[in-house]
Amino acid sequence: MSQKEGLRANSSQFTLEGEPFRILGGSIYYFRVPRAYWEDRLLKMRACGVNTLTTYVPWNLHEPERGVFNFQDQLDLK
């Protein structure tokens, strides 16, 4: 059984499973986009060639006061 190579980097490029691979990244801030549009925005990003997604988690929205957590509706990370 052969082991998969995965993502690797050398001094000039990335490779994925041994093939040259260019990382094209984009960001989406889920808390600024209505949840009803999440799938649409992700599909549009993919259609533009984005293969890497970044976001940040605004903890002040998820824990508005110490010990009180909110992961419902617009703030559901699933």
pLDDT tens column, 23-72:
999 999 999 999 999 999 999 999 999 999 999 999 999 999 999 999 99
**Residue 44 placed within a domain:** yes
Does the pLDDT of residue 78 top 90, yes or no?
A: no
**Residue 2 placed within a domain:** no
At 38 the pLDDT is: 93
**Residue 64 placed within a domain:** yes
Q: Closest by alpha carbon to 45, among 29, 30, 63, 25? A: 25
Which domain does 36 fall in, by range? 24-75
**Residue 12 placed within a domain:** no
**Residue 18 placed within a domain:** no
Task: Report yes or no: 23 and 7 within 8 Å, Cβ to Cβ.
Answer: no
Q: Please give the backbone phi and psi of residue 31, each rounded to the nearest 5 degrees, phi first.
A: -80, -10
**Residue 47 placed within a domain:** yes
At 53 the pLDDT is: 94
Total domains in the chain come to 1
At 1 the pLDDT is: 52
Average pLDDT over residues 3-13: 86
